[in-house]
Every structure is written in C-alpha cells, then in structure tokens.
Amino acid sequence: MSAIIEVSGVAKTFRQPKRLPGMGGALRSLFSRQFTEVRAVQDVSFTIAPGEAVGYLGPNGAGKSTMIKMMTGILVPSAGTLSVLGREPHAHRMTNAAEIGVVFGQRSQLWWDLPVRDSFDLHRHIYEVPEARFAENLAFLTSMLGMADYLDRPVRQLSLGQRMRAEIAMALLHDPKILFLDEPTIGLDVVAKDAVRKFLARINRERGTTIILTTHDLQDIEEICPRLIMVDDGKLLFDGELPRLRSALGSRRRLRLEFGTDPGPINLTTARLVTDDGAAKHFLLDSEDTSILDVLTELGNGYDLKDVTLEEPAIEEVIRTFYQSKPQLAATTP
Amino acid sequence: MKARAYAAFTVNALQTRLTYRHTIWAGAFGDLVFIFARIAIWVSVYGAAGAASAANGVTLPEMITYSLLAGPLLYWDYSRLLADVGTAIRSGDVAVYLLKPLHYPAYLAASHLGHFLFELAASTVPVAVIILLVFGLQPPASLFHGLAFLAYWPLSFMILFTLATLLGLAAFWLMTVQSLDWFFNAIMTLLSGGMVPLWFFPGWLAAIAGHLPFAWISYYPAAVYLGKLEPGQTLLYFGIGLVWLAVLLASLAWLWSRARDRLIVQGG
Ligand SMILES: Nc1ncnc2c1ncn2[C@@H]1O[C@H](COP(=O)(O)OP(=O)(O)OP(=O)(O)O)[C@@H](O)[C@H]1O
Ligand SMILES: [Mg+2]
C-alpha cells in the first residue's frame, strides 16, 4: 500500500443563508434565497503514506479544521475526491471511525461527568477493543502520559493539560491506524506541550501510527512532524520538509565575523557582504551547501579573526515572511 | 449493533445519576405533590357522585391506580432528553458522536433508558409505595392483563422516546424548541391519556385519540393493566401500537439522516 490518505482537488464551500440585520431583516431573510459563500478549502491535493507524521499549518481561518473534518468523515467535500484507508470517509462513516483516532483540542470527547477511567471503558465497548489489548494499551498510555494520579477523577475536575492528555490517550485506545489532531497543544503550558510532543513523536516512531496534526505552534511541527503542509485562504502553499521550506524561501543563513582590527573591505564568493561595521561584518550564505569551513577557507589566514557566529533563520521568521509575501510555490510531495 | 456498548451507556447513565443522587429528592417530592393533587381531584369528583359510584364502570380505586401508572410511570419526564439533544446540537457536540462508530439516536435511547431506570427506582417506586400505603393500589385485573402490561410498558417507553427525540431533532432547523415543546407537551398530555383517561373523553375525541400513537404512551398500558380491554382487543391494540412504533422509528431514522446530512454538508 502506498498512500493511506489521498486528497485530490478537494474544495469545501460553506453556504450560509444571508442574515439581514434587525427584526425586519430577520423576517425577510426567512424568505430570501440569498447566500453568503465561504470558500474554506480550495483545490487542495496531497497524499500521505503510512507511518508519516504531517503538520498542517496555516493562519486562523485557513481551512485546517475544515480539512480535518473532511478527512474524518464529518464533513463532505464540495468538490474533489478524498480517500482515507482506501475509503471515502463520509460514505463509510462507521468503518472509517473505527480505524481512526481523532482529537479536537477545542472540543472534548470524554464524558464530562464520568471519571476518566469510565470514559475509557465506554470507549472500549464502542470500539470493541479486546479486553487484554485494552488493558495493555491503558497501562502503556497511563504511564507514558503520567495519568495515574487522575484516572479516577471526573473529567470536569481536570486541568486543561490533564484533560488533553486523557483525550489523546482515549483516541489511541483502539489502536487507530491514523491519528488526527486539531490543535492538540492549544492552551497548554510549556511542560505539558513538551510531554504531548514527545509522546506523539514516540507513538509515530514506535507504533507507526500515521499522525496528522494542525497547529499554530511551529515547535509542534519541528518536534513531531518531518513533513509540513502549509495552507492559507483555503489554498495549499507548501508541501514538503521543513528545511526545504527554508531553502525554497531563500531564507539565507547569516554569518557574522568579528575581527580584532578593521581589515578593510572583504569580498568573497562563498558569502555575500551585507553590513560592514568595520571590525564586525555580516554576510549572507546564499547556498544551503556552503559550510562555514568553505567561507573560512576562502578567507584564508591573513586576518585577525576573533569570533565567528552563524545564525539559522528562525522558523517563525521564515513563516512570517512566507505569509506576508505569499509566494506561489510549486507544491510538490516529497 | 454493538449491544455491549449500548448496554454500557445505560449502566453509565444510571451511575452518573447515582453520583448526583441528592438531586432526586426535589424530583421525587414534585412527583408526590403532583400525584396527590390528581388523586385529590378524582376523590372530589367521585365524592360528589357518591362513594360507591363507578363512572363509566371505573371505580375510584381504579382511578387512583390509573393516575400512578399513566402519570409518573408511563409518561416519564422527557425534558432531560430534549435538553440533551438541544445542547448537543447548539454546541456542535453532536459532531463528536459522528466521529465514533455509533448511531446517535440509539445512543440516546440507551442512555435515557438509564435515566428512566434511575428515576423509576429512586422516585417512582417510593411514590408508588406512599400511594399504596395512603390510598391503596389495585393489582392487575388478571394474570393475562398483568403480563400484557409488561409487554405494553416497553412499547410505551419506546413510543414516548421516539416522539421526544423527533421533537429534539427539530432544534436542527429551529433556533429554539422551547415553545414547540410547550405546545407538544400540552397536546401529548391530553391525547396520551396521561391526565384524564380516554374513557372520560367525548366519543368523537376518544375515537380520534384512541388511534393516535400518543394513546399507547399512557392510556392503553394503564387500561390493559386495569382489565378495561378484552384479551382480543389487548392483542389487537398491541399490534397497532407496534405499527405506530415502526412508523415513528422510520420517521426518526429519516429525520436523523436529514439532520446528519445537514451537519456534514452544511457544517451545522
Ligand atoms: N460550518 C461553517 N459554516 C460557515 N463557514 C464556516 C463553517 N466552518 C468554517 N467556516 C469558515 O471556513 C473558514 C475556514 O475555517 P476553519 O475552521 O477550517 O479554519 P482553521 O484553519 O481551522 O482556523 P483556526 O486556526 O482559527 O482554527 C473560515 O473562514 C470559517 O469562518
Ligand atoms: Mg481550526
């Protein structure tokens, strides 16, 4: 099997009856057939192979949640074809649901009034997980996510971080082939975020569970997902690995050379001089392949070099320039 | 169908209610006041006509038993069901149920059976015991009628459940079902015979009400218990009730599929 998820030319347009303001407007809109259209997803295509971990990134309203809902079968695409585990998700809702796990950061799937353990037990019945397998998974997830302390507490008493860990654990109890997470780290503190990231990366690595997650937090992607899909305004902007995004954007590394005395102008072929403050000079490395050694070799020994620093462009920086310029990149699958 | 999963929902609803069991006292007390008021009405009606009189061949002790059966036992409080469905729809949580390999209406039926059983044990039975001690209650008219009642009871539960769920799903299209709920409850209390048995209705109204599904909620089961239907009629009306249930279940399946389509096409 090559692809576990195939999305081709998928679009989703929401049609909402136009609401006119005021009481009279409310009455008129009862009879009017006017609609406002929101194009939440437009012509998106990608494929995902089993075992991949993919980060789905984009600003607010970019259509990330909409895409997740379509892949999990609770929203029907307006155009294009979508196949998850070889099936059209919404047409085979029950079978699809049994083989995937879903976590919505904004919406709890646990039973509010029940202890976490009871929610898990209900889940076992709904997904018909064999008893032995369930016990094994529960023990593993409880220790991995450090849930032992609050397994018997009602969900409504849990902190956000505790609840999110329970949500993720529940989504994995039936050994889903794919785990979809819509903003799993939203509202978590640094420690909880770190725990969730490490856990997801491990599940992906050790169990081979395919992971697709949406996020606004780039660190999620750096730590969990080798592959990044970037969307904006419903359209696909980039699909590939994070380092490739850097080079595709031409986001160059910056090299700072500091000398004991001002050596005067320096011209190099491996690095381009951008600012010259006399004793401190800043260069840009235009090529990804250039190493510091190349630059220093070219520079030679004739200088009183005191310090060398190389700065990788911050990923946030890269993404920000990306959104602002919105370049038309050829979206290619790795 | 995953029978085990749905059974687990029933058990869970029961357990959840047990953890909030202190809230039952208000409910049980309300039930008690309500049924005492009804019985007081029948006592004064019969009292005016003379103690030993039997209106339409029905005696006062029979009316007291009827009030208990047709009231809290059969015409259970479905407002929790309406609230559950309404909240799930308005908050969008209904999508969560679509994410699971579950049939939402079946889930509702299973969990509200749990609520019903809890209220039966914690409120209806204690109220019945008090009525028994204060006024006395009639046993079933015969073994046949007693057994027939046991068959009519789940039928009644399912018909009321289906009607209430249909009403709840209307929240998909209407912003609020509150006014609708008020109207529906008034109609249903009348036509089900939950307040006044059909045998006190004017002939034409009794004829209409006797063939609408509402009558299977309260009137028929209670009338069967008291032996007001011949064995032949008991079986015949049970059959008609089953047909009504099938019609209602089909309507529910249809309405739910419309609601689900709306949800997954329009996004709520
Ligand atoms: N049910 C709906 N009806 C109408 N419009 C909708 C509906 N759901 C989403 N939209 C619109 O579609 C667009 C994409 O929404 P979506 O929730 O997919 O964004 P997102 O990328 O998840 O954003 P965020 O990062 O804020 O969660 C938005 O403009 C949103 O208003
Ligand atoms: Mg979203």
**Burial of B43 from C-beta contacts in 10 A (0-12 / 13-18 / 19+):** middle
Give the residue on B whose Cα is nearest the Cα of A127: B101
Q: Judge whether residue A331 has pLDDT over 60.
A: no
Q: Judge whether residue A217 has pLDDT over 60.
A: yes
Any atom of ligand 1 within 6 Å of the Cβ of A252: no
**What is the number of the ligand 1 atom nearest to the C-alpha of A231?**
21
**Better-scored residue on pLDDT, A138 or B268:** A138
Any atom of ligand 1 within 6 Å of the Cβ of B267: yes
pLDDT in tens, A218-260: 888 888 998 999 998 899 988 988 877 766 666 667 888 898 8
Average pLDDT for chain A = 86
Q: Judge whether residue B44 has pLDDT over 90.
A: no
Residue of B100, B118, B175, B263 to mutate, interface with A, max A Cβ within 10 Å: B100
The alpha-carbon gap from A89 to the nearest alpha carbon of chain B, in Å, equals 11
Supply the pLDDT for residue A31.
67
State both tokens at A71.
């892949």
Q: Domain residue spans in chain A?
A: 50-246, 253-312
The alpha-carbon gap from B6 to the nearest alpha carbon of chain A, in Å, equals 8
- Kindly list the distances between the CA atom of residue B252 and the CA atoms of B106, B121, B258, in Å, as whole numbers in the listed order: 11, 29, 10
ipTM score of the complex? Answer: 0.83
What one-character DSSP code corresponds to residue B141?
A: S
pLDDT in tens, A60-105: 889 999 999 999 999 999 999 999 999 999 999 999 999 999 999 8
pLDDT in tens, B163-176: 999 998 888 887 66
DSSP tally for chain A: helices H, then strands E:
11, 13
Report residue B159's pLDDT band, with 50, 70 and 90 as the boundaries.
Answer: very high
Supply the pLDDT for residue B176.
67
- Residue in the block written with tokens 């039973």: A111
A50-246 architecture in CATH?
3-Layer(aba) Sandwich (3.40)
pLDDT in tens, A18-52: 766 666 766 666 666 677 888 999 999 999 999 99
From chain A, pick out residues whose CB is under 8 angstroms from the CB of B102: 97, 126
Supply the pLDDT for residue B53.
62
Of chain B, the percentage scoring pLDDT greater than 70 comes to 95
Distance between CA atoms of residues B10 and B113, nearest Å: 6
Supply the pLDDT for residue A25.
67
pTM of the model as a whole: 0.83
Instruction: Tell which phi-psi region holds residue A264, choosing left (phi > 0), alpha (psi between -120 and 50) or beta.
Output: left
**Burial of A108 from C-beta contacts in 10 A (0-12 / 13-18 / 19+):** buried
Any atom of ligand 1 within 6 Å of the Cβ of A25: no
* Residue whose CA lies nearest to ligand 1 atom number 31: A61
Residues 6+ apart with CB under 8 A from A17: A29, A32, A33, A34, A35
* Closest listed residue to residue A231, CA positions, set A9, A16, A44, A20: A44
Q: Judge whether residue A333 has pLDDT over 50.
A: no
Supply the pLDDT for residue A332.
42
Q: Domain residue spans in chain B?
A: 2-261
* Closest listed residue to residue B73, CA positions, set B24, B20, B121: B121
Supply the pLDDT for residue B22.
76
A74/B265 CB distance under 8 A: no
What one-character DSSP code corresponds to residue A177?
A: S
Supply the pLDDT for residue B25.
79
- Residue in the block written with tokens 């700072």: A256
Ligand 1, pocket-test mutation among A12, A14, A37, A72, most atoms within 8 A of CB: A14
Interface residue A76 vs chain B (CB under 8 A):
yes
Residues 6+ apart with CB under 8 A from B55: B45, B46, B49, B200
Least confident of A294-298, B26-30, B230-234: B26-30
B267/A75 CB distance under 8 A: yes
From chain A, pick out residues whose CB is under 8 angstroms from the CB of B263: 74
B210-249 in b/e form (b: 16+ CB < 10 A) is: beebbbbbbbbbbbbbbbbbeeeebeebbebbeebbeebb
The alpha carbon of A67 and the centre of ligand 1 are apart by a number of angstroms equal to 10
* Residue whose CA lies nearest to ligand 1 atom number 1: B267
